[in-house]
């Protein structure tokens, strides 16, 4: 395969870069070990930062978040819920930090408004009566999956940009300072391939150091795992932050029909081994209780984690990553003697567009392309095939046009058969053999309180009925889907969710026998890497 630009990594930055380049007339291919947003872009809390979280320790990152957040609200409104945010302090919190907070916001250019504690509790009744100070900031939430999918859809429409899922980069041939060939392997079939590109971009987040090494370059990465919990229902209208230096369990973010509590920060050596833990789940709840006491008896349906791709300021830096800047770095790797390979890492989901713009500027300069960036001014088109990731969209649509011939396959999120058919048709045009995992990335299937226990079976049966599945491989796809969903349930198995899990076990193992491994039911090679991190 040959292309102008090869982008390694299909997270927010990689897909955003594909669109930026396409708007400049540059074609590209995006390769991804798993699927869209399999790394940090799918393992975050979906917060579109106002910058208020970083004003005390990283003013530059706070300014970037403020500027980029405002742009995304205007240019991609279909992906954003402009809900607003509150920073609240409770009795015992640092009074000096509270007093200094408005000044820090002003220094970063962030709008901030003091809110009376009684008014804050009236706005968000779940807040503790011990709240002693509150400030309103322009936080919002964003759907990272719709964002990435729509960036890819626009890039494809403009230049035919393609996405190669489940394609791992295994090596690079370097000659005279150029990457002349990139070696890949399909993680499902094991088929090897090669790609030749005029420019190669490493946008792999926490894996950036590992991929750079394949070209003989180096990046001083620090991988920080953050675990988050998903509540059974939405608890607040706004984003609620603890008014203190960033720490564990200090933010509750509304995610459509649920809320997301987080996050921890644990340094890990291998991002492939990131898993949410019971200890981190407990820590998040314990730290959040002084701010929102009802979290002590709230039902949590899932835990998940992402790995922050932080850049070490010096090679010996350790700790939990809280002190590391949330800014990003773009490496041209000229020091390694390379002229057509670059890496971009660090940053935040909120700043993905800026990261893509700066990377595209470098790539285009090397290609001799003078077209300017257009993502700063041109709206991101809404793609009908990407709308099913939005929480609450399916119920609204289904109730408006209820059709007896269009049954619900996912009752928790009210996803109808027509949505599954549309997504499968769209996927079939982009890559072969789409399955339940791909459907889960592109819809709300499996995201409800049953975590796929019932809809996984119904959707698989529908795919057999419609001819998408014609062999026992469909059972393998179902088994992969349930295995992935259970990884997120394991850390929160108490109370009602434990009962739910026992019911799912009886259905999947007792009735369908999906725990049994054989030639037709063994998980596909590499399937465990295709993680769906975010709810």
Does residue 154 share a domain with residue 16? yes
Which tokens belong to 527? 């399937």
pLDDT at 531 over 80: no
Cα separation, 90 vs 345, in Å, equals: 35
For residue 467, the enclosing domain spans: 384-529
Which tokens belong to 519? 């030639």
Is 292 a domain residue? yes
Does residue 247 share a domain with residue 214? no
Task: Determine the average pLDDT of the residues in 307-335.
Answer: 73
Cα separation, 253 vs 47, in Å, equals: 7
Between the two ends of the chain, the Cα-to-Cα distance in Å is 34
Phi, then psi, of 330 in degrees rounded to 5: -115, 120
Cα separation, 168 vs 82, in Å, equals: 36
Is 502 a domain residue? yes
The single residue listed with the structure tokens 């769906």 is: 532
The pLDDT score that the predictor gives to residue 319 is 47
* Of 257, 275, 308, the domain-final residue: 308
The pLDDT score that the predictor gives to residue 470 is 87
C-alpha pair distances (Å), 442 with each of 85, 266, 273 = 27, 29, 24
The pLDDT score that the predictor gives to residue 534 is 42
Does residue 255 share a domain with residue 117? yes
Least confident piece of the model among 49-53, 385-389, 405-409, 432-436: 432-436
pLDDT at 125 over 80: yes
Helix (H, G, I), strand (E, B) or coil at 41: helix
pLDDT averaged over every residue in the chain: 91
Does residue 248 share a domain with residue 118? yes
Is 59 a domain residue? no
The pLDDT score that the predictor gives to residue 235 is 97
pLDDT at 521 over 70: no
Cα separation, 131 vs 117, in Å, equals: 6
Tell me which range, 355-359, 409-413, 463-467, is most confidently predicted by mean pLDDT: 355-359
> How confident is residue 392, by pLDDT bands cut at 50, 70 and 90?
confident
pLDDT at 394 over 90: no
In this structure, how many other beta carbons lie within 10 angstroms of the beta carbon of residue 334?
12
Closest CA to 76 of 350, 308, 326: 350
The pLDDT score that the predictor gives to residue 321 is 57
Q: Which helix (H) or strand (E) holds 261?
A: strand 258-262
pTM over 0.85: yes
Bond from prior residue into 527 cis (ω within 30 degrees of 0): no
The pLDDT score that the predictor gives to residue 426 is 87
The pLDDT score that the predictor gives to residue 427 is 84
Cα-trace Rg, the chain: 23
> How confident is residue 466, by pLDDT bands cut at 50, 70 and 90?
very high
The pLDDT score that the predictor gives to residue 396 is 76
Does residue 304 share a domain with residue 157? no
Closest CA to 13 of 203, 156, 141, 191: 203
pLDDT at 476 over 90: no
Is 231 a domain residue? yes
Does residue 32 share a domain with residue 103? no
Does residue 503 share a domain with residue 406? yes
Is 448 a domain residue? yes
Does residue 153 share a domain with residue 119? no
Count structural domains, the chain: 3
Which tokens belong to 479? 């088994």
Does residue 281 share a domain with residue 388? no
Task: Determine the average pLDDT of the residues in 481-504.
Answer: 90
> How confident is residue 535, by pLDDT bands cut at 50, 70 and 90?
very low
Does residue 388 share a domain with residue 467? yes
| 144-155 pLDDT, tens digit each | 999 999 999 999
Is 333 a domain residue? yes
Is 317 a domain residue? no
Residues 6+ apart with CB under 8 A from 453: 500, 503, 504, 507, 508
The pLDDT score that the predictor gives to residue 519 is 42
Whichever domain contains 122, its CATH number is 3.30.9.10
Task: Determine the average pLDDT of the residues in 85-94.
Answer: 97
The pLDDT score that the predictor gives to residue 524 is 38
Q: Which helix (H) or strand (E) holds 496?
A: helix 496-505
Whichever domain contains 173, its CATH number is 3.50.50.60
| 40-82 pLDDT, tens digit each | 999 999 999 999 999 998 899 999 999 999 999 999 999 999 9
| 290-315 pLDDT, tens digit each | 999 999 999 999 999 999 998 886 54
Does residue 435 share a domain with residue 392? yes
Does residue 175 share a domain with residue 32? yes
Is 316 a domain residue? no
């Amino acid at each position: 395969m040959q292309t102008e630009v090869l982008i390694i990594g299909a997270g927010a930055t990689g897909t955003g870069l594909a669109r930026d380049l396409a708007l400049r007339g540059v074609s590209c291919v995006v390769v991804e070990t798993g699927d869209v947003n399999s790394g940090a872009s799918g393992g975050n809390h979906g917060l579109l930062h106002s910058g208020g979280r970083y004003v005390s320790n990283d003013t530059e990152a706070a300014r970037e978040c403020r500027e980029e957040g405002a742009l995304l609200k205007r240019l991609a409104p279909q992906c954003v819920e402009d809900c607003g945010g509150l920073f609240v302090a409770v009795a015992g919190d640092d009074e000096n930090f509270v007093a200094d907070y408005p000044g820090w916001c002003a220094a970063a250019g962030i709008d901030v408004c003091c809110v009376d504690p009684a008014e804050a509790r009236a706005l968000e009744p779940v807040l503790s009566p011990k709240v002693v100070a509150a400030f309103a900031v322009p936080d919002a939430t964003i759907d990272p999956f719709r964002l990435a999918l729509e960036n890819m859809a626009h890039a494809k429409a403009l230049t035919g940009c393609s996405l190669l899922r489940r394609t791992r980069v295994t090596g690079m041939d370097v000659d005279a300072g150029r990457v002349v060939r990139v070696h890949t392997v399909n993680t499902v079939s094991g088929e090897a391939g090669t790609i030749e590109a005029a420019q190669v971009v490493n946008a792999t987040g926490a894996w950036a150091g590992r991929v750079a090494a394949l070209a003989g370059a180096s990046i001083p990465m620090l991988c920080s795992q953050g675990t988050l919990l998903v509540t059974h229902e939405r608890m607040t209208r706004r984003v609620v932050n603890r008014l203190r230096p960033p720490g564990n369990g200090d933010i509750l973010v509304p995610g459509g029909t649920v809320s997301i509590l987080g996050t921890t920060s644990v340094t890990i050596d291998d991002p492939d081994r990131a898993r949410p833990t019971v200890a981190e789940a407990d820590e998040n709840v314990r730290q959040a209780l002084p701010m929102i006491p009802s979290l002590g008896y709230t039902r949590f349906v899932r835990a998940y984690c992402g790995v922050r791709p932080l850049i070490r300021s010096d090679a010996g830096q350790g700790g939990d990553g809280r002190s590391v800047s949330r800014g990003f770095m773009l490496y041209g790797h000229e020091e390694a003697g390379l002229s057509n390979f670059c890496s971009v890492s660090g940053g935040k989901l909120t700043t993905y567009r800026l990261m893509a713009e700066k990377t595209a500027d470098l790539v285009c300069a090397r290609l001799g392309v003078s077209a300017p960036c257009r993502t700063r001014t041109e709206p991101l088109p809404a793609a009908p095939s990407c709308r099913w990731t939005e929480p609450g969209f399916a119920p609204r649509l289904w109730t408006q046009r209820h059709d007896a011939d269009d049954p619900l396959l996912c009752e928790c999120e009210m996803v109808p058969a027509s949505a599954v058919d549309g997504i499968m048709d769209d996927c079939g045009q982009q890559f072969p053999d789409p399955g339940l995992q791909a459907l889960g990335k592109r819809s709300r299937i499996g995201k409800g309180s049953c975590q796929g226990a019932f809809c996984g079976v119904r959707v698989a049966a529908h795919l057999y009925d419609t001819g998408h599945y014609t062999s026992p491989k469909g059972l393998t796809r179902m088994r992969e889907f349930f295995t992935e969903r259970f990884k997120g349930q394991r850390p929160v198995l108490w109370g009602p969710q434990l009962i739910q899990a026992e019911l799912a076990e009886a259905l999947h193992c007792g009735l369908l026998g999906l725990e049994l491994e054989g030639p037709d039911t063994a998980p596909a090679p590499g399937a465990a890497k295709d993680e769906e991190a975010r709810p």
